Structure 1
């Protein structure tokens, strides 16, 4: 779960979120929303995330006129799209202090979770450490991936929270 710090929200909200006590989160959010200086905290970022207007502005050309497939490398539209993706990769790498080869773009959370979990499990299997520990309450895509991992790569234990 991703948690964003919001100025003005009590630390107890983050604690309740981590513990999965949604009733407490709802109660705190209702109380906090009565204060005019606090905005509600949007927590469903796995479904959709509010987009920064600067990102929208940067993406418009690729939604309207430069719409090639960056994996199609036999024509101009593909070359143009590949160049845009590589430029974005460099920008993200610079922003987070990484090498551009470490930045991987995926189609979404499910693909990202699968790559990360299977990659970590495979890496540790090679070192002889073939047991993962995870929290019991996880997204379906993670549960499904862990079932595959348990079957084919290594064992795992859910921790009851």
Structure 2
């Protein structure tokens, strides 16, 4: 249970957050070599996240620190997947937000939203070099997969995980 004393605040994305979260994504992804074709940085929805996550069975949350958007993450149906599987999508944090428990708190928020939408499994794609993120996923019950699921279009990702909800 959150106490309200955390040095961050999680809330649903609003239209005013689109530029800020696009900036977070475009700042963090190159830090891990995720540039060019096959990465989420090139998804058109990065510039209009609020609208993209108003779709049925989708939600995106931003994480604020000192009143500024410093991270975010969401869930949506897995493209090309079965109706019971969602994807944890575009979960990124600026360095000043890391190590404060925001990843765990946001993960719980996203998984709770996924359960509320009736999903029974959550899938995600990441990079082998995103070690802290991968540790968070594994601590959150995600298991490594040998191959990708669905049709996300993120061919640059080389690590895949899933967990039951």
TM-score (norm 1): 0.29
Tell me which of the two structures has the higher relative contact order, counting C-alpha pairs closer than 8 angstroms and 6 or more residues apart: 2
Higher strand share: 2
TM-score (norm 2): 0.29
Higher helix share: 1
